Amino acid sequence: MIYLGADHRGFALKEKVKSWLTEWGHDYEDRGAFEYDKDDDYPDFATAVATAVALPVRQSLGEGGSLSNGSKGEVSKGVLICGSGIGVAIAANKIKGIRAGTATSVEQVRASANDEDLNVLAISADYTNEDSAKKIVKTFLETKFSGDDRHIRRVNKIKDFEK
């Protein structure tokens, strides 16, 4: 499942992402905003998405678990959008089990998904054009975690901070 969230600055781009996900055959759940509201707050949507993404990991592998250890299971991902992309990433990373990052290029998101097991992508609505955003989202969804020992070791070191 792909979970989506955006504040007012990311609302229009989130609606585009929904159409791309449908086009690509992905199931998704919109966690808000459900309408444009210039006074909404990005942490509300970031934590709604991050909590949803983290839940299957905790249920299948134990509290704070990660699929980075090579376990089999359904992997949920999230896409968050705000003006900078950074605010939603900061908020999402407060949720145990989340590895959120802001990406501005296909190469950057590919490396982060492959090496850091990125499970929430944050996009800047103000600094990312629609064509780039589409390529970034598609790459995020298609790139699998490498499972290389060195990457597992590094992700596990990050997980240790959550204890």
CATH of domain 2-63+72-160: 3.40.1400.10
Examine the residue annotation and report whether 141 is marked as an active-site residue of this protein: no
**How far is residue 133's CA from residue 151's CA, in Å, rounded to a whole number?**
26
User: pTM for this one?
Assistant: 0.90
Each residue of 46-89: pLDDT tens digit?
A: 999 999 999 875 554 444 444 443 444 568 999 999 999 999 99
Q: How far apart are CA 10 and CA 110, in angstroms?
A: 22
Give pLDDT tens digits for 135-154.
Answer: 999 999 999 999 999 999 99
Catalytic residue among 21, 33, 82, 125: 82
Q: Where are the domains of the chain?
A: 2-63+72-160
